[in-house]
Amino acid sequence: MNRPSPLDNVRIVLSHTSHAGNIGGTARAMKTMGLSALYLVNPKSFPDNEADVRASNARDILEQACIVTSLEEALHESVLAVAMTARTRDLSHQTLDARQAARELLVHAAQSPVALVFGRESSGLTTTEISKCQLTVHIPANPAYSSLNLAAAVQIMAYELRMAFTETTPLPSRQSAYQLASFDEIELFYRHLEQAMIASEFLDPNQPKRLMQRIRRMFARTQLEKEEVNILRGILNALQK
Amino acid sequence: MNRPSPLDNVRIVLSHTSHAGNIGGTARAMKTMGLSALYLVNPKSFPDNEADVRASNARDILEQACIVTSLEEALHESVLAVAMTARTRDLSHQTLDARQAARELLVHAAQSPVALVFGRESSGLTTTEISKCQLTVHIPANPAYSSLNLAAAVQIMAYELRMAFTETTPLPSRQSAYQLASFDEIELFYRHLEQAMIASEFLDPNQPKRLMQRIRRMFARTQLEKEEVNILRGILNALQK
């Protein structure tokens, strides 16, 4: 069973989209990040086979999409609308970057619908459309070429929304299906290696310099597992025969 | 005039891409975020009109792309290779999320080439391909549908690389007074170690099981430095005498 999630409260609104493929790409981008509410304001062609193809296994998002004839309808009962813009405008609203905007949207989505509004592929949102929104958002990009594809822009925002959603529960940085070696096992390995290096005259015990220290530093970074220590000692035994 | 940027040192490597449109989408995704080095390992169809169309004004990235026949060529002289994976594997490397991996790549890209490797649209990277990399990265996604489009995955990683690049005070995750070993140096070490294990009968080449894979996984976590590779090979030479 799905618990209700603040992501369910985030509407992706596409205004006057020209290329149906971008609507499909948007649906896939949304579903991969756990978003589901798609609003289409006067799409040029929808439904459309190209949208279905690009949506891949996210066609359910397309089937449930709300097709409306004005931005007002898409924003109905939302408490915050954020307008995607490629650059800062003259009479601009407060502009947040993608990460800040995602966090801001999520705060409000915990209780009420919010909307993220994308304009035409060619020209973006009109001044009138932006004036219906409370904030603008821009995606940091290459100043020499900042023209993101529409579905790619949705993908980044959907990703930042998911990151904002999961920030409370950070992922472990390493899978621990494997058991880490104990301090004692690792010390026995170091002693074994040191003996082998002395026996083979790689290490002069009268002039050890900092060789063991360098080796310890290297293996410390790995956080050796039990089985790995066994492999390393097995190699040493075999080579010493 | 452009100053050289660490982003120039980040290679996007696409292995065995089936759909030319994804190569074009990748080029556009890269350029919007300031990346330029595209490597294609055995693309199914390239050059291709569909790639040009999806690249829009990023065709220069396609024109400059390096087309190679093996992952090794694409990783030549790189010091860190990060493999994109959809989910955690059995014998997995250390896995970072997109944001962590972008920061890690950028730290090293300040000085040397690094690579971000993407596999086939259908099945991702093979185990052998992953074993040539030091880290894996996954993009946090909807567990019920995590199937990002290839170009969309590149877009998110390129975006995170740009964010890492523009963060005012990126914290290096590791002191880099030491120089990392290159891909080629590490591969030579693995070959040396494998030979030594076979000569000493620790490894039966007819029944290798997954020994080399385990060893690669262990050393991948350390991100070996040049001097460490020299020490390890010195020990092997001494023990083999």
Mean pLDDT of A212-218: 85
Residue A130: closest CA among A68, A66, A67, A75: A75
Is it the case that residue B2 has pLDDT exceeding 60? no
Is it the case that residue A134 has pLDDT exceeding 90? no
d(CA B98, CA A92): 31
Of A107-111, B7-11, B235-239, which gets the smallest average pLDDT? A107-111
CB contact under 8 A, A33 and B141: yes
Mean pLDDT of A143-158: 96
Give residues with Cβ within 8 angstroms of A2, minimum separation 6: none
Note the pLDDT of residue B240: 87
Mean pLDDT of A109-116: 91
Of A121-130, A176-185, B171-180, B213-222, which gets the smallest average pLDDT? B171-180
Q: Are B218 and B175 in contact (CB under 8 A)?
A: no
Longest dimension (CA), chain A: 85
Closest-approach residue (CA) in chain B for A36 = B142
Task: Read off the pLDDT band of A181 (50, 70, 90).
Answer: confident
Chain B contacts of A25, Cβ < 8 Å? 149, 152
Tokens of A130: 């932006």
Angle at B147 between CA B145 and CA B153, to 5 degrees: 130
Q: Are A149 and B25 in contact (CB under 8 A)?
A: yes
Closest chain A C-alpha to B27 CA, distance in angstroms: 11
Phi-psi region of A192 (alpha: psi -120 to 50; beta: other; left: phi over 0): alpha
Note the pLDDT of residue A185: 86
Three-state secondary structure call for residue B105: helix
Note the pLDDT of residue B176: 52
d(CA A48, CA A18): 12
> Phi and psi at residue A114, in whole multiples of 5°?
-130, 165
Task: Read off the pLDDT band of B79 (50, 70, 90).
Answer: very high
Is it the case that residue A219 has pLDDT exceeding 60? yes
B141 vs A32, A54, A149: nearest CB: A32
Chain B contacts of A214, Cβ < 8 Å? 227-228, 231
Mean pLDDT of B126-155: 94
Q: Is the minimum CB–CB distance between A86 and chain B shorter than 8 Å?
A: no
Chain B contacts of A196, Cβ < 8 Å? 235, 239
Closest chain A C-alpha to B33 CA, distance in angstroms: 5
d(CA B218, CA A222): 7
pLDDT higher for A145 or B2?
A145
d(CA A40, CA A118): 10
Mean pLDDT of B108-126: 94
Mean pLDDT of chain B: 90
Q: Is the minimum CB–CB distance between B145 and chain A shorter than 8 Å?
A: yes
Closest chain B C-alpha to A181 CA, distance in angstroms: 13
d(CA B164, CA A237): 45
d(CA A81, CA A118): 11
Q: Is the minimum CB–CB distance between B235 and chain A shorter than 8 Å?
A: yes
Q: Is the minimum CB–CB distance between B113 and chain A shorter than 8 Å?
A: no
Is it the case that residue B233 has pLDDT exceeding 90? yes
CB contact under 8 A, B29 and A149: yes
CA distances from B81 to A184, A210, B10, B37, B129 (A): 33, 30, 10, 14, 10
Run of H or E including A139? none
B142 vs A33, A175, A223: nearest CB: A33
ipTM score for this prediction? 0.81
Give residues 52 to 71 of B whose Cβ lies within 8 Å of A. 54, 56-58
Please give the interface size between A and B, counted as residue pairs whose CB atoms are below 8 Å apart: 165
Mean pLDDT of A166-180: 58
What chain A holds in terms of domains, given with CATH numbers, is 6-166 (3.40.1280.10), 183-240 (1.10.8.590)
Using CB atoms within 10 A of its CB, is residue B191 exposed (0-12), middle (13-18) or buried (19+)?
A: exposed
| Owner of token pair 């000085």 | B111
Note the pLDDT of residue B178: 72
Closest-approach residue (CA) in chain B for A21 = B54
Mean pLDDT of A46-61: 97
CB contact under 8 A, A145 and B29: no
CA B207 to centroid of chain Cα atoms:
29
